[in-house]
Each structure stands twice: as structure tokens, then as C-alpha cells.
Amino acid sequence: MSDPSAPAVAGAAPALTRQQVVAWRNALFVIFALCGVALASWVARTPAIRDAVGASTWQMGLIVFGLAGGSMVGLVLSSHILARFGPIATIRATMIVSAVGIVIAGIGGSLASIPVVTAGLVVFGLGTSTCDVSMNVDGAANERALGRTVMPIYHAMFSAGTIVGAAGGALAEHLGVPVVAHLSVVAGLMIGAVLVAVRFLQPDPALSAAQETDQAQEKGDWRSRLTVWRDRRTLLIGLIVLGMAFAEGSANDWLALAMVDGHGVDNATGALVFGIFVTAMTIGRVGGVLVLDRFGRVPVLRVSAVLAGVGLATMIFAPNPWLAAAGVVSWGLGSALGFPVGMSAAADDPKTAAARVSAVATIGYLAFLVGPPLVGFVGQQVGLLNALLIVLALIAVAGIVSPAAREPRRPAAVLARSEKGADRPAT
């Protein structure tokens, strides 16, 4: 069998059987979940690493900035890497890079070295962000092959992975497992699983032979991939992703610490509340498939913004930790669909999917670049809970510009197939 990671040039990809499409989908489920496990494993151990290196809130912002900085570099390079190597080879390589980075961060914690932790997060962010774009592009291609809304389920698998990662982190914290040992086990899982999963991925069957030939000719033309930045819809979708990624990312970066420092809980409880957040996100993403197919992207995005805003406000102003945890549920539900819907909207046109997803993800990842030091700096002055008020404004912006994600008209053949339910994905 030929290597599926080699981009097709001379002809269109052969028609895929349903078994191949479903296996492709299931492999993406695994890949999205692995990314969630990796991220949550790091997040759940941030209080322990903070204590190990003796970092202040502001210094923790700078440490997490390493993750954001590496992510931005990966996003800038992602469309060019995808054009050169294709999504399958890119996913395989960047997952391994992410695993190496998370181990380096763990080593930095054991050495009580802020520079080593930061360097590890740069590598981790570089691999994770490039893998993120690649798996979303490949996920959109699989979604088109299935003929059903499935992108939120991919991201639900990411959230399921974060539940596993958060639970593992809380257990490791409770048992006193060293951070480096914990993160090394996670890295081994990432590498072993991705090497198996990529064997079931497939080239995009929606691309015609002529389109594939055009892509091959444009691999070295980086200017053609930058034209998407002049497209108004791309930029507005980017704002949706920016606001909702900030809602999600602020929880990833600061929720555990905000519960510890702002509501007076211990480290294990802080990790547990983060687990509540990602559980709510997972439920929202699984259920989101049904509501998106029934009501469409725009109404769902608007309701999501309201839920996220109300939940975050409740978490900030709650007089006790249990009411704050209840707000976290609404915050997680509201944050669930913004990022996957934005990625799906950016990839509506398969010919420009890689460049548009890269552009939208770059805008969204500004939340990870600007957010950590901004929240950390403001939190140093007024407390982490009050600093999270910044997120509310961006959530409101995402709700206002949500019409940019409206679905394109679907071909009659796809509509007919969807109505028959022939390609309904199993959940």
C-alpha cells in the first residue's frame, strides 16, 4: 500500500468506501483526543510547576507566554508546511514534536528552572498549533466525505481528552507523582497512538485532479496563501474564534490557579474544577452536532456567547467555590462550539481550506499569545478573578460577528444524502 501521507499530484484520490471514511473519522477522534490529553496534563500540573519554580502570577504569565509564542510560530508556518507535506505527514511529525516539548517542560519543573519550562512550552506550542491546523483541515475534509456535521464531535474528543488529562493530573497531584514522570508517560502515549492512527487517515476526496495539480504547482508560492488575509469573511470568522478561544483558553491557562488563589481551594480541587469545565465543554460539543444541524451555525453561536458570558461572570463574582463551580458549567457549555464552528466555516472551500484555517487559527491563537501575559499582569494588580473580566468583552464580540460563519449552500447531491442519513456518523 502506498504511503497515504504523500500528497497526490498526478490524479484525483480514488473513491473511498464507507469503511475507509469511518476509519478515517475514528483515527481523527484519537488524534484530537491525544491533543486534549497533552494540553490538560500540562494545565493540571501548573500549580505544582508554579510551586516548584517559585514563580509569581506575573512570571507564570510569562511562562505560559512560551506556549503561546511557540503556537504562533507554528500557526504562521502551518499553511506552508501543509502545502509541502500534506496533513497526514504533518500530523504525525508535529504530534511527536509536541510530546518532546511536554517532556522538556516537565524536566524544567524538576530542575526548578523557569527557562527550561518555558523552552519546553515553546516546543510544545510549536508542535501543537501546527498539528491543530492540520487535524482541523483533515477533519473538515472528512466531514465533507461523511456529508454530516461532525466537526464538533472531533472537538468533543479533544475535550474528552482534556477530561482524561485533567483526571490524570489530579490523580498524579494527589499521589505526589513527580511532574516529569507524569508528563513523560503522557508523551509516550502520544507518540505510540499517533503512529497507529495516521495509518487510517486519507487524502481529501473532494479535490479534483485539476485542483490537486494546482496545489502542487503552488507549493512554493507562499504569496498565494497570504491573499486570504484580505478576505472580510475570513477576518470576521477569525474574530469569532478569537473571542471563543479566549473563553476556552483563559480556562486552560488560569482556571485552576483562579480557583486556588481567588476562591481559596487546594491544588487538587483546582484541577477538579478545571475537569468540570472540560466535561461541560465535551457535553456541549457532542450535543452541538444536533443543534447545529437543526438551527444552523449563527443562532447556536449567539446562544453560546450568552452562556459563556453568564457562566464566566458567575464564576468571577460567586461568593463561594461551589457556586463558582456551577458557573464553570455554563462557561464550559458556552465555550464549546465557537472554535470548531469557526474551523469548519473557514474550511468551507476545500481549495483554500489550509490557508483559511491557518489564518483563522492565527487570529484565534492571539488569545493564547496576548491572553496569558495580559491576564497575568492585570491579575497581579487586581486579582485573577477580576482580570478574567477582560474575557467577557471578547465573548461579546464573538456573538456580534457570528453571522460571518453562516453555512454556504450545499450541493443538491450532498443535501439528498444528508436527508437520507446515509452517512450519519456514529457517536
Q: Is the pLDDT of residue 210 over 70?
A: no
Q: Reduced to 3 states, what is the DSSP secondary structure of residue 336? A: coil
Q: For residue 75, what pLDDT band results from cuts at 50, 70 and 90?
A: confident
CA 368-331-244 angle, to 5 degrees, is: 40
Q: 2-11, 20-29, 151-160, 173-182: lowest mean pLDDT where? A: 2-11
Inter-residue contact 238 to 338 (CB < 8 Å): no
Query: Given this model, what pLDDT does residue 304 score?
Result: 95
Q: For residue 206, what pLDDT band results from cuts at 50, 70 and 90?
A: low
- Whole-number average pLDDT of the chain: 82
Mean pLDDT of 150-170: 87
Q: What is the spatial distance between Cα 132 and Cα 147, in angstroms, rounded to a whole number?
A: 22
Buried-state track 209-219, b at ≥16 Cβ within 10 A, e below 16: eeebbebeeeb
What separation in angstroms does the CA of 198 have from each of 7, 90, 216, 388? Answer: 14, 10, 22, 38
Q: Is the pLDDT of residue 83 over 90?
A: no
Q: Is the pLDDT of residue 295 over 70?
A: yes
> How large a percentage of the chain has pLDDT more than 70?
86
- Which amino acid appears at position 71 of this protein? S
Domain boundaries, the chain: 18-207+230-406
Q: Is the pLDDT of residue 95 over 90?
A: yes
Q: What is the spatial distance between Cα 244 and Cα 252, in angstroms, rounded to a whole number?
A: 12
Greatest mean pLDDT among 89-93, 374-378, 421-425 lies in 89-93
Mean pLDDT of 289-315: 92
What separation in angstroms does the CA of 374 have from each of 37, 204, 333, 352? Answer: 26, 39, 24, 33
Mean pLDDT of 38-46: 87
- C-alpha 68: how far from chain center: 13
Q: What is the spatial distance between Cα 72 and Cα 279, in angstroms, rounded to a whole number?
A: 27
> How large a percentage of the chain has pLDDT more than 90?
29
Q: For residue 410, what pLDDT band results from cuts at 50, 70 and 90?
A: low
**Single pTM value for the model:** 0.72
DSSP type of residue 289: H
Mean pLDDT of 111-118: 88
Query: Given this model, what pLDDT does residue 207 score?
Result: 59
Burial class (CB in 10 A: 0-12, 13-18, 19+), 1: exposed
Inter-residue contact 64 to 250 (CB < 8 Å): no
Query: Given this model, what pLDDT does residue 420 score?
Result: 46
Mean pLDDT of 73-95: 88
Superfamily (CATH H level) for 18-207+230-406: MFS general substrate transporter like domains (1.20.1250.20)
Q: Which of 345, 332, 355, 349 is nearest to 401 (CA)?
A: 345
Instruction: At 206, give phi and psi (nearest 5°).
Output: -80, -15
Inter-residue contact 395 to 243 (CB < 8 Å): yes
DSSP type of residue 113: -
Query: Given this model, what pLDDT does residue 318 score?
Result: 87
Over the stretch 334-390, which tens digit does the pLDDT of each residue have? Answer: 998 998 898 888 888 777 777 788 788 878 777 766 776 677 788 778 878 888 888
Instruction: At 33, give phi and psi (nearest 5°).
Output: -65, -40
Q: For residue 32, what pLDDT band results from cuts at 50, 70 and 90?
A: very high
Q: For residue 31, what pLDDT band results from cuts at 50, 70 and 90?
A: very high
Query: Given this model, what pLDDT does residue 14 score?
Result: 60
Which cell goes with 48?
505544582
- Compare 31 and 67 and report the one with higher pLDDT: 31
Over the stretch 232-279, which tens digit does the pLDDT of each residue have? Answer: 888 999 999 998 988 887 887 788 888 888 888 888 888 888 888 878
Number of other CB atoms surrounding residue 171 within 10 Å: 14
Inter-residue contact 289 to 427 (CB < 8 Å): yes
Q: For residue 310, what pLDDT band results from cuts at 50, 70 and 90?
A: very high
Q: Which of 334, 337, 320 is nearest to 273 (CA)?
A: 320
Which cell goes with 90?
504533518
Query: Given this model, what pLDDT does residue 320 score?
Result: 87
